[in-house]
Structure 1
Amino acid sequence: MAGALTDPTRAPVAFGRRAVPQLFGELQRAGAAARLRALTSLCDLVHEPERLYQAVTGGFLKQLKVLFRDEDPSVRAKTCELLHLLTSHSIGRQAVLASSLLPPLCQLLDDSSFSCRRNVHRVLNHLALLPAGAEALLSLVPKLMLKITKEEDEEVQLLLLSTLTHCSRLDALPGLASDGVSLLGRKLSHRSSNIRREAAAAMMALSVPMDGKRQVCEDAEVLPVLIGLLRDKDVEVQANAAGVIMNTVIITTGKQRCLDLDVLPVLLGLLSEKHGDDDKEEMKKRRKALIMYVLRALTSLAEAPNGRRLLLEQLPLVEKKAEAAEEDQDIRRATQTAIQVITWTP
């Protein structure tokens, strides 16, 4: 054990593999200050993969449950920060899901400490990355939907929206039953492009089931805002908005609503945009997703007589996309499918 305490905010740490058991033992001591120092040292220690593995697999996690109810908000916040660090690795997520920590952790979503609530959202967002985690959080979706309107901090809003996206990709029905289309729709016009991107991603997940498509059509404000987002400066915002429209125009009502809102010129404009060859690989992937969604939306819109008539007038523009030598194979194939539907005759 270290001979002198050089940092008053941290507990002295034993050498090697004795450090983790020693610090978890310190958590049982009386006095919030001692527990806080031990938690701070643990947070430092679990940045090392070996110590993180030891903390997760050594049966220590159950000791954290009592700290969720600690009277000191700093202890509660630091406990959740430790869980956030542990769940940044897959083994930590699996361990938390296998433990009994999730129900008491979720109760801290209403904690008086903002730091505590933010760390809880970080943990939940990590857990939602696993299908088992998203499934475990489905019962929490109604509460998370309401939190969107209450939490003002941008990071927390992003975490909330991201968690809801993962859950809704697994099962959109809890979100749809919680007025998710209307609540997410309010975030589509947010000043932050990050919020707009995540809100559109969550909306895309909700628009997959038939009921989701109908709700998007029935909300008077959502589709006009989404069509406006097709002109957003952020490519991911554009792609997610195009994805919602792609899903919505599968049904007849969606086709008619989008045609009435004059979506075709906007979609065709995205199809004909030129971009330099100096785009990074990640940006090329985002643009590809955008173009694929646009082409699939155009294909569905061509199934409506009005849509086919308008698209036949712009057929050379679509054909040019199929003939472009630099185009990706998937984009060419999607373009050829769109042309077949546009030129179909009974």
Structure 2
Amino acid sequence: MAGVLIDPTRAPVAFGQRAVPQLFAELQQPEAGRKQRALASLCDLMHDPERLYQAVTGGFLEQLEVLLKDEDLSVRTKTCELLHLLTAHSIGRQALLSSSLLPPLSQLLDDSSSSCRRNVHRVLNRLALLPAGAEALLSLVPKLMLKLREEEEEEEEEEEVQVLRLSTLSCCSRLDALPGLASDGVSLLARKLSHRSPNIRREAAAALMTLSVPLDGKQQVCETAVLPVLVGLLKDEDVEVQANAAGTIMNTVIITAGKLQCLDLDVLPVLLDLVSEQTEEEKEEDEERRRRRKALVIYSLRTLTSLAEAPDGRRFLLEQLHLLTRRSEAPEEDRDVRRAAQTAVKVITWTP
């Protein structure tokens, strides 16, 4: 008779509804090895929605607080992985936000293990996707900004962690940009705009766009000389990087200083190229890429509309009006793009 194969890295799992309570009971044991094996088995079970629901509603979540402070590195890392799996579902995210786990979890942003820090960022990013989660994490914005500064002085974090951190900052700043602005966020994010990774450039530009919504943010964008970098990103190979850069410029040119700087940077021809080019390849793009390009075109049109309020901008755009008129009149054009083009034409041709 063949022997039963037992995985030494997993704890034995009881049958049915007894499995989750039994494994959480194992987590109370002092031996690190038993806790590690129980956590590994729990992570396996959390792929089953029924077991996940049982873990969340059974009052087990608070038991994880002591594990987040465990002296064993692998226990802390695996506990964060378990929380990441729990937050894959709405009920898990809500339960975590209602628990007392966020403070000890946020302390692990400084953990010595890169795997543990990565799992923490994964959890925080999933929470930040909810408005309630973003609000709960606003107090962490200064610490996340500090991490951006530390990366410049010490060893740079791996790409996934940087992307997750920037995405979390973007979600939080979309709700309230003031903590990010008060933490020197504009200049810190500006330094990420030239990163070799398009994913990091994309998230940095997205976070900067959220910071440029308040008046103070627009002024800081002008004062930190970040506009030349953003104008350069309008020619980036990644459409979403282009769109996020265009969105930040769109926000900034609402104020006079932003208009004047962008006109000095000769941004008008670049924007006109973005709104006027519509190749056969673009028509054949997939839905997701068309959505991103639509955002880029609309942001560019709104930027042109604002720049038309300046005499030099209006003069230039009057000479190129046919490019905008074509997009404002084409019946096959997207309705939102057509409306933005019509507004731009109206402002450019306005006379007192």
- SS of aligned partner of 2:299: helix
Q: Which amino acid aligns with 1:323?
A: E
Gaps of 5+ in 1: none
Give RMSD over aligned pairs: 1.1
1:260 has 2:264 as partner: yes
The correspondence of residues 162-241 of structure 1 with structure 2, limited to 5 A, is 162-220=167-225, 222-241=226-245
Deviation at 1:9, TM superposition (A): 0.2
Deviation at 1:326, TM superposition (A): 2.4
Q: Which residue of 2 aligns with 1:250?
A: 254
Kept after mapping to 2: 8 A contact 1:5/1:11: no
The correspondence of residues 72-221 of structure 1 with structure 2, limited to 5 A, is 72-149=72-149, 150=151, 151-220=156-225
Q: Which amino acid aligns with 1:143?
A: K
- TM-score, normalising length from structure 1? 0.97
Q: Which residue of 1 aligns with 2:22?
A: 22
Deviation at 1:184, TM superposition (A): 0.2
Deviation at 1:345, TM superposition (A): 1.0
Gaps of 5+ in 2: none
1:20-42 CA-partner distances (Å, limit 9, x unpaired): 00100000112101000000000
The correspondence of residues 14-53 of structure 1 with structure 2, limited to 5 A, is 14-53=14-53
- TM-score, normalising length from structure 2? 0.96
Deviation at 1:238, TM superposition (A): 0.5
Kept after mapping to 2: 8 A contact 1:134/1:166: yes
Alpha-carbon distance between aligned partners in 2 of 1:170 and 1:83, rounded to the nearest angstrom:
24
Alpha-carbon distance between aligned partners in 2 of 1:91 and 1:302, rounded to the nearest angstrom:
49
Kept after mapping to 2: 8 A contact 1:39/1:79: yes
Deviation at 1:323, TM superposition (A): 2.4
Q: Which amino acid aligns with 1:262?
A: D
Q: Which residue of 2 aligns with 1:320?
A: 326
1:29-77 CA-partner distances (Å, limit 9, x unpaired): 1210100000000000000111111111110001100011111100000
1:79-98 CA-partner distances (Å, limit 9, x unpaired): 00000110111111100000
1:8 has 2:8 as partner: yes
**Could you list the runs of 4 or more consecutive aligned residues of structure 1 that deviate by over 6 angstroms after TM superposition?**
none
Q: Which amino acid aligns with 2:49?
A: P
Deviation at 1:4, TM superposition (A): 6.0
Alpha-carbon distance between aligned partners in 1 of 2:176 and 2:187, rounded to the nearest angstrom:
18
Kept after mapping to 2: 8 A contact 1:312/1:342: yes
Deviation at 1:114, TM superposition (A): 1.0
Kept after mapping to 2: 8 A contact 1:5/1:12: no
Kept after mapping to 2: 8 A contact 1:162/1:198: yes
Alpha-carbon distance between aligned partners in 2 of 1:5 and 1:171, rounded to the nearest angstrom:
53
- SS of aligned partner of 1:137: helix
